[in-house]
Amino acid sequence: MLAAMRGHLTVGLWLAACGTPQEPPSPQPPSPPTTPARVAPTATARRTAAPAPTVVPAPTPATTSSASRPEGPCPDDMVAIGAGFCIDRYEAPNRAGAKPLLLQSARSGEEWCRARDKRLCLEREWVRACRGPDGRDFPYGHAWRRGVCNDDKTWRSPRWSAIRSYPAPAARTETDRLDQSEASGSRDECVSPEGVHDLTGNAAEWVVRTEDNPTNFEHVVKGCYWARCFRPPHIPDCAYVNYAHQSPERSYEMGFRCCRDQASAGASAGASAGRDGNR
């Protein structure tokens, strides 16, 4: 009985948080088709959520060599944010000109980052990188501007049964059909003052939750994606959070980027403790 109630609650929360995407208020778009409700992951889904080699590429010399401890506060492929942490310049695979990894879960993101001596970003770290040192609402300023980031594409209706079939090939085929992401760094103005690209739009990004929300799942999704945000007002700003998905879930628009501490490994343990205390 309790399990059934939890299932109904998860689906209800998803529908409330992930309704059909719409164009930002000005101008008004035609309403897209209603998306089917997603089903909360089962125990089997959690056991099979590990990334397949075809989805998460193996480390390459280009990505692993820069992950070694650098002379400066951060590796060359990362940006120093204040005096606290480093964040990838681009969405994974963190290479200028490469399209972001899609169909990712929070678990696959954690594994990918860990293989490069990094970790999945904390929610508050992602927000700080997006807002910049002056607390802006968007990476590029205080008002949304159409076309600056890849966040205003026309929504395409997904076949959720195909997406949920992962790791079957149908999931990748459907993701390829829906994919409207662009090469990382291709929009010159979609960058924060400190040099972090594509924080809003393009792929949605898994992060470790540090703030309370209606579900308080372990991870949340930040940055919206190429077809805006799911909940009204649908504007892809730094504050928006998608809290409807549990860590093993995959969706066609989901990616991630990595972070790491600027200080020693000892400081990393302190950061983790601070994160847990914030929950």
pLDDT tens-digit readout, 217-269: 999 999 999 999 988 889 999 999 999 999 999 999 999 999 999 964 344 43
Element (H, E) at 219: strand 219-222
β-bridge mates for residue 22, sequence order:
none
Considering only CA atoms, which of 101, 105, 94, 100 is closest in space to residue 65?
Answer: 94
Identity of the residue numbered 277: G
Rounded mean pLDDT, 130-144: 97
End-to-end CA distance of the chain: 28
Rounded Cα–Cα distance for residues 184 and 26 (Å): 27
- The CATH architecture of the domain made up of 77-277 is Alpha-Beta Complex (3.90)
Q: pLDDT value at position 71?
A: 60
Cis link prior to 100 (omega < 30° from 0)?
no
The per-residue pLDDT for range 141-150, each reduced to its tens digit, is 999 999 999 9
CA dihedral 167, 254, 122, 242 (to 10 degrees): -120
The per-residue pLDDT for range 146-201, each reduced to its tens digit, is 999 999 999 999 999 999 999 999 999 999 999 999 999 999 999 999 999 999 99
Q: How far is CA 259 from CA 38, 170, 172, 176, 180, in A?
A: 29, 31, 27, 27, 25
Percentage of residues in the chain having pLDDT higher than 90 = 66
Query: Residue 204 class from Cβ within 10 Å (0-12 exposed, 13-18 middle, 19+ buried)?
Result: buried
